[in-house]
Amino acid sequence: MYGHDFKEKKRVIVKVGSSTITHEETGNIDYTKLERLVRQLVDLRAQGKDVCLVSSGAVAVGRYAIGLKERPQDLATKQACASIGQAYLMSVYQKLFSEYNQKAGQVLITKKTMTDPESRANARNTFEQLFNLGVIPVVNENDTVATHEIQFGDNDSLSAIVAALVKADALILLSDIDGLYTDDPNSNPNAEFVAVVDNIDDVANMASSDSSSDLGTGGMTAKLRAAQIATFSGADMVITNGAHIGNIHRIFENKDKGTLFVANKRDDVRVLDLLED
């Protein structure tokens, strides 16, 4: 059982990666999973929580739509895929949320949105108003315009920055691995699962369990960076396996389903400084 009571959480960010919401064999959207995800999020709303979804998938879905076999390497194609895929993905989310009479809004941001004080304040106000209105914001990086200098690059960091911006008290990363291991469990049978991380500094060098796919960009390194940002800004963070969408409600029933990184609010750290250049 977690030390921190997830039933009491008021504002929750859930991050889902491309590999969780698309079929590995074809690259097309996994509609069953997406539907389950939406249901879980609506149920968190029904418990009175503010809920925000950070969803990847723009590039992967766009790539499928135009029939590309591999992840595009050049920027122009990637941006074109993101443009096509984001619009399509959002239309599917809107449809699924509307079945539960739940409104969803789209928020696309770049690193610049967060580093420029005026845009950051604007973004924060927009999120606050969406929460006031009972809307679930669906966030992604604005990949269509984000070039290297202004991109987060991975949605793990992005979701943690959003958690810091809106002062969320929980961040859930749906991943393709159960949580943090002491080593890569695919290559080391002695790798041990880590259920709770009280101090992020203790696990800073445990990023070798990098599970990576050619769909998303985040690995364990990105997740540990996200954990630093989230916990220092006062949110408990959990890495859980997105193969089982039901893990979301298990976490909020305090049935431990992943690795918990315990919140450790640090007013002396500017979380934006923890992002990679």
Output 143 or 169, the one with its CB closest to ligand GLU.
Answer: 143
- The torsion angles phi and psi of 91, rounded to 5 degrees, stand at -65, -35
Q: Beta strand 136-141 with 170-175: parallel, antiparallel or unpaired?
A: unpaired
- CA-nearest of 13, 100, 6 to 55 is 13
User: 22: which DSSP letter?
Assistant: B
Least Å from the CB of residue 207 to ligand GLU: 16
178 counts as binding ligand GLU under rule CB under 6 A: no
Q: What is the 3-state secondary structure (H, E, C) of 126-187?
A: HHHHHHHCCCEEEEEECCCCCCHHHCCCCHHHHHHHHHHHCCCCEEEEEECCCCEECCCCCC
Q: DSSP string spanning 57-71?
A: -HHHHHHHHTT-SS-
Query: Which member of 21, 51, 53, 60 binds ligand GLU (CB under 6 A)?
Result: 60
Least Å from the CB of residue 18 to ligand GLU: 5
Count of residues binding ligand GLU (CB under 6 A)?
15
User: Could you tell me which stretch among 32-40, 56-64, 116-124, 236-244 binds ligand GLU (CB under 6 A)?
Assistant: 56-64
Least Å from the CB of residue 155 to ligand GLU: 4
Residue 232 · residue 265 · CB < 8 Å: yes
Output 156 or 236, the one with its CB closest to ligand GLU.
Answer: 156
- The torsion angles phi and psi of 112, rounded to 5 degrees, stand at -60, -35
Residue 259 to residue 115: CA distance in whole angstroms = 30
Query: Which member of 27, 218, 242, 258 binds ligand GLU (CB under 6 A)?
Result: 218
User: Could you tell me which stretch among 138-146, 168-176, 187-195, 198-206 binds ligand GLU (CB under 6 A)?
Assistant: 138-146
Output 240 or 264, the one with its CB closest to ligand GLU.
Answer: 240
Query: Which member of 20, 40, 56, 211 binds ligand GLU (CB under 6 A)?
Result: 56
Residue 245 · residue 36 · CB < 8 Å: yes
79 counts as binding ligand GLU under rule CB under 6 A: no
User: Could you tell me which stretch among 129-137, 174-182, 216-224, 263-271 binds ligand GLU (CB under 6 A)?
Assistant: 216-224
Output 175 or 264, the one with its CB closest to ligand GLU.
Answer: 175
3-state secondary structure at position 222: helix
17 counts as binding ligand GLU under rule CB under 6 A: yes
Least Å from the CB of residue 217 to ligand GLU: 4
3-state secondary structure at position 13: strand
User: Could you tell me which stretch among 4-12, 50-58, 126-134, 197-205 binds ligand GLU (CB under 6 A)?
Assistant: 50-58
Q: CA distances (Å), 59 to each of 26, 86, 91, 195, 198, in order?
A: 14, 7, 15, 32, 35
Query: Which member of 52, 59, 138, 263 binds ligand GLU (CB under 6 A)?
Result: 59
How far out from the chain centre does Cα 175 lie? 9
258 counts as binding ligand GLU under rule CB under 6 A: no
Write out the residues near ligand GLU by the rule CB under 6 A. 17-18, 56-60, 140-141, 143, 154-155, 216-218
